[in-house]
Structure 1
Amino acid sequence: MGSKASGFTVEQENLIWDLHRRGESLGEIERFLGVTMPRIRRFLRESSGIRPVPRARRIGHITAGEREEVSRGIASGDSARTIAEKLRRSPSTIARAIARNGGREHYRAMDVDAAAYVRARRPKISVLCGRPILRTVISEKLHEQWSPQQISVWLRRENPADPQMWVSHEMIYRCLYIPVLKAFDSNVFHELRTDRPIRRPRGKKRSHGRGRIRNMVSIDRRGAAANDRSEPGHLEGDLVFGTRPSAVATLVDRHSRSTHVVALPDGYRAETVADALIAYPGRLPTHLRRSLTWDRGREMAEHERITVTLEMPVYFCAPHPPWQRGTNENTVSI
């Protein structure tokens, strides 16, 4: 059985978490399970996209079977010491367990075990709740749009001799996304660059090409004239977002630094971006549209159509090295 609140079986819940961890979209999870997307979304939002840690009894705690033996020992009139010897437990452990749960007259194994399970579920105080200075520093950095990974590394570098000022990026994410930890206000996740209400895994499946750009041409194949800025017409492009889904495309000439802003009134899906980039640069003279360089955003999935229509090759930056479109980045940020 799964949780009553979710309406899913244990097998379905495990499958949802496995698919979510692999980076599958909600639509793909829906197809796997044959259930509606809103139900899946509600289930993931209950824990903010972070898989709950499976509950397990702590090693050393009295087990349900041992509680039954305690109950039988009490019924037989055995002392706590005698019961402890049979269970190979400390007499003080057994005596405390009996006293904590109503004494010898009211001790019932099943009731005691259920009560212990409920007590163990109480929300634990998070690390950040116990360290207000650390929490304040993290809040300030989040407000400055630092990522949890950056904050974690920076804290260790700035406080090498003070472990109380260290925290992992995963703990920051958990405190942001799990309300019961009460480390931050419930809307602090808006400070993250992604601004997502649930955690999304970084890892993506690679079993097929869906969602990836095909036949990309690397920036390494861009000609010398574009690299050394010796002739006009070599453009760098990117999207600039307003309130989603509002966006415009920006094109900056590497030679002259002239900037073009291309409206995207119908959104920034790949076909829409391709239509706009064909229509706008298509009005420019041929010598002012020799090539286009872009990052690996999926809005350029139809780059081949742009190349064929305008006879203008499209080059893509490497996955992670910075500033391969520095002309565009610096111009648009001013």
Structure 2
Amino acid sequence: MRQQSLSVRAMARTLGRSASTISRELERNTLGELPYASHSAQVCSQGRRQAARAPRKLDMQGVGWQVVLTLLDWRWSPQQIAGTLKRVFPNEPERHVSHETIYNAIYAQPRGELRRQLVACLRRGHNTRMPRTRGDDRRGQIPDMVSIHVRPPEVNDRVMPGHWEGDFIKGAGNKSSVGVLVERTSRLVLLAKMDDATAASALAGFSAKLNSIAEPMRQSLTYDQGKEMSRHADLAAQTGVKVYFCDPHSPWQRGTCENTNGLLRQYMPKGTDLSLFSQDELDGIADSMNNRPRATHAWHTPLGVFAQTLALSHQPPASIQ
């Protein structure tokens, strides 16, 4: 039908499909200037499907799996195999495999004699894989968290300035990140360049940005339970802010920051390598955001509202006659 120059909608009616489905197929699976062909389209589709999945560490046809089978036959445990591979090949990470991957490869085998032989090589010899954590979260918790539910009520009211929300936005493949701080009353945005997503980087980046503003405007910071905030006590000591943590999986408790993240994607689209942005470029993006009029401020800018609240915070209280 493509060779007969039929329209996309005509093809869709004939095949009983949506016109957008036909259009997407033609766009994604046509090679350059060549006409659409079923064989080349299938090759393109299979290539994308393979690229979307990371290659297995233990390919059943690969050398690594044969090594694991041999060591299992020697009655080695998966932990012993994993540790030995790292010791023998310290500079070849492609040969490394975790003990969990070995367990998963064993129990992924179809039921049969090979599966029974492999399971028999394990210490306990369970026929089914037992849960790794027995339901317990072993990733570790952030120490001494203070819940958002004990946060002062004036923070919720947005009347008093100086209360912030924070987050990380991630780049391509979650390999780069930028720290985001938003003041709840004015919606002023601060962006901090991060070398990585570790707690040390979060402490350094957020401390530098918070300390760059006047002390009266540093009252509290509300964050999710990301592990990058595990050094929140150090952040509080360096900046004077009180750090509160949201409930798990509750992004609406930091709605201002979540909305700001969406606006920032105009400047840093998803899939962008955020490590390419310098701190000066991030400051330029923040300045652009802070000088955009906002409906919530009757079309005043966040920078203007922030400056006004900062000026009011330095005025002495009126005397009572």
Normalised to the residue count of structure 2, the TM-score between the two structures is 0.47
